[in-house]
Amino acid sequence: MPKSTKIVLMINTAIMLIALWSLYRLYLQSSSEMLIALAHWTLFGGMLVSNLIILFKAKALWKFMRAMLYVVALLQALNLMIIAKDFLTLSGFLAMVYTLMVVIYLIGFRGYLNSHTFFEWFMGAYIKKEQD
């Protein structure tokens, strides 16, 4: 496994943990916004599924993972617009910065999935089998 793939898996795991913490915080409040909770659940699920696809090298799900990450990035951008109302508070500002970084990361992650290094490692055995 390339070192860059290990780094991506670690970042995905960190994002999953932050999403779980945010969900815990949302559900402690009795008046949590459902759309924000949906965005956090999809972020957690998207990172979990993408980690599993990478770890198990599920070649048939590679295109699905790219489309799923695009949807998760769109939901996170929507979440950014929802939490913009709290921009003038410290927690709101930090939440916006974090969400913006996650959106940029998700776009970069989709780009990494198209990189030659990842594609060669991920599809390596499959390509060799087709050539034989």
d(CA 115, CA 113): 6
d(CA 97, CA 87): 10
The pLDDT score that the predictor gives to residue 102 is 96
Contacts of 57 by beta carbon, 8 Å cutoff, 6+ apart: 122, 125
Mean pLDDT of the chain: 88
Q: How far is CA 130 from CA 37, 61, 112, 124, 126, in A?
A: 44, 18, 24, 10, 6
% pLDDT > 90, the chain: 57
